[in-house]
Amino acid sequence: MADTTTSELGRIGLKRPDLFREQCYIDGKWMGEPKHPVRNPATAGLLGHIPNLGKAETERAVAAAEAALPKWRSASARTRADILRKWNDLMLKHQEDLARLMTAEQGKPLAESRGEIAYAGSFFEWFGEEAKRVYGDTIPGPASDRRIIVLKQPVGVVGAITPWNFPAAMITRKIGPGIAAGCTVVLKPSELTPYSALAIALLGEEAGLPPGVFNIVTGDAEPIGRVLTEDPRIRKFTFTGSTPVGKKLAAQCAGTVKRVSLELGGNAPFLVFDDADVDAAVAGAIISKFRNTGQTCVCANRFFVQDGVYDTFAKALAENASALVVGDGLAGLTQQGPLINDKAMRKVQAHVADALGHGAKVLTGAKPDSQGGTFYQPTVLRDVAPDALLCREETFGPVAGLVRFKTEEDAIRLANDSRAGLAAYAYTRDLARSWRVSEGLEYGMVGMNTGLISTEVSPFGGVKESGIGREGSKYGIEEYLNIKAVFVQL
């Protein structure tokens, strides 16, 4: 093991220190030399290292996944479900350790990390159950002596690449349905948050997952990504991350015509109508905007508020935002952690400067926090121009920019004026309006009078440039199943 800073690790205080792994997991073996440093975004302290694997090791992982496939896909659904249930149980048993590890590498407050571990585990439980319900169809034949049967079969070996903002849930949301369906997986987690992934792999091993069913490689994204997108042995590629990288990887998949699922960036509108319960709207806005320091793809990014409640909503949102406790996520009271890195900090600062340059006014925040590093104050700006950067691009930070609107038609037009289409939110107490708005928004998910839309039981995914496919719910497993039609001549 390389020179891990014991002080950073000691601060995490794991009850089971072996959950901290600095090696990759291929074919049921821990391998690779820890070389690449991983830091805690709250302190910039060194947490440890991870291997810098490349093309050859990724191909080895693909070979292991391919070798494990025949046995795994022919195991009964109950066998797969039993292992997935145990995996969820182990996630919950070690929830505190996993949460502390996550906060240390990602920065989010401990309460959010605990919630994410439970959420992450729920995909194992849910899809283990769904594995038992992979029903086919029988179709009335086109002639009296013909029958047609539809079978659903696992796609095969899956390549997966995941981001840093949800270091556990973005993984289980892919490998849960994949493994439940009978696929085997090679995963590259984000190099910024690899330890959650590696701990999950260890618990999978303990749950009884056979070698080769789930493999993790860490290292340089480009060569690993090439194998996962271009190797013909991989039949499905699934990605969560930024839109530009997703487009590039989807293009790389074209050469081998892989099935592709993409969960890319959003630019979520948050609509508040005059007839809204303003207190509920403020509470929803705080959850949707400031969760994970604004670093989720479903975070509200553009606030459109109707004339009649604009001032009240703006004042209350600013009051609530300024009361959020900023700090190291491992500290008990923290409600908002640091941004993930300097690049994220620069983007937030550029968006705020641009909004102010376009005439926006500061209600609270709008500057780095006095704690230094990548801590940024929860920010609310009013009178933001709809063409400011803040509205055109996903900020991925704790900045709420408010735009005023007059009519429902204006609100829907402004909300849909984006190439992204992941999540949208609206607050109104008018039943008919709630239907019109839900149906009019060009988004994959709508939070109507709620700022929280993530649960394993509901389909998560976007339209337009926010992606392809759905994760979670009964639809999520379909992404890992091929349809085969069997024609029978009697």
Residues with active-site annotation: 263, 297
User: Applying CB under 6 A, does 230 fall inside the site for ligand ADP?
Assistant: no
CA distances for 299 relative to 17, 40, 186, 202, 447, angstroms: 33, 23, 29, 31, 11
Pick the closer one to ligand ADP by CB: 264 or 391: 264
Taking the chain, what is the end-to-end CA distance rounded to the nearest angstrom? 65
Q: Which of 206, 222, 307, 342 binds ligand ADP (CB under 6 A)?
A: 222
User: Considering the complex, what minimum distance in angstroms separates the CB of residue 238 from ligand ADP?
Assistant: 12
d(CA 180, CA 86) in angstroms, rounded, equals 13
Pick the closer one to ligand ADP by CB: 187 or 207: 187
Give residue for tokens 């502390």. 100
User: Applying CB under 6 A, does 161 fall inside the site for ligand ADP?
Assistant: yes
Q: Which of 44, 75, 221, 414 binds ligand ADP (CB under 6 A)?
A: 221
Q: How many CB atoms lie within 10 A of CB 436?
A: 16
Only one of the segments 76-84, 162-170, 200-208, 373-381 lies at the binding site for ligand ADP (rule: CB under 6 A); that segment is 162-170
DSSP secondary structure of 179-229: HHHT-EEEEE--TTSHHHHHHHHHHHHHHTPPTTSEEE--B-HHHHHHHHH
d(CA 417, CA 202) in angstroms, rounded, equals 44
User: Applying CB under 6 A, does 350 fall inside the site for ligand ADP?
Assistant: no
Sign of CA pseudo-dihedral 108, 113, 115, 118: positive
Q: Which of 107, 154, 163, 447 binds ligand ADP (CB under 6 A)?
A: 163
User: Considering the complex, what minimum distance in angstroms separates the CB of residue 244 from ligand ADP?
Assistant: 7
User: Considering the complex, what minimum distance in angstroms separates the CB of residue 308 from ligand ADP?
Assistant: 37
Pick the closer one to ligand ADP by CB: 241 or 329: 241
DSSP secondary structure of 357-395: HTT-EEEE--SB-TT-TT-B--EEEES--TTSHHHHS--
d(CA 128, CA 142) in angstroms, rounded, equals 36
Site size toward ligand ADP, by CB under 6 A: 15
User: Applying CB under 6 A, does 241 fall inside the site for ligand ADP?
Assistant: yes
Strands 423-427, 268-272: pairing kind = parallel
Only one of the segments 56-64, 147-155, 187-195, 309-317 lies at the binding site for ligand ADP (rule: CB under 6 A); that segment is 187-195
User: Applying CB under 6 A, does 342 fall inside the site for ligand ADP?
Assistant: no
Pick the closer one to ligand ADP by CB: 87 or 166: 166
User: Applying CB under 6 A, does 245 fall inside the site for ligand ADP?
Assistant: yes
Residues 6+ apart with CB under 8 A from 79: none
Pick the closer one to ligand ADP by CB: 56 or 485: 56
d(CA 8, CA 47) in angstroms, rounded, equals 6
Residues 6+ apart with CB under 8 A from 145: 489, 490
Residues 6+ apart with CB under 8 A from 6: none
Q: Which of 59, 82, 191, 442 binds ligand ADP (CB under 6 A)?
A: 191
User: Applying CB under 6 A, does 242 fall inside the site for ligand ADP?
Assistant: yes
d(CA 259, CA 90) in angstroms, rounded, equals 31
User: Considering the complex, what minimum distance in angstroms separates the CB of residue 126 from ligand ADP?
Assistant: 24
Pick the closer one to ligand ADP by CB: 241 or 398: 241
Q: Which of 43, 95, 184, 190 binds ligand ADP (CB under 6 A)?
A: 190
- Shortest-Cβ-distance residue relative to ligand ADP: 225
Chain residues that interact with ligand ADP, rule: CB under 6 A: 161-164, 188, 190-191, 221-222, 225, 241-242, 245, 248-249
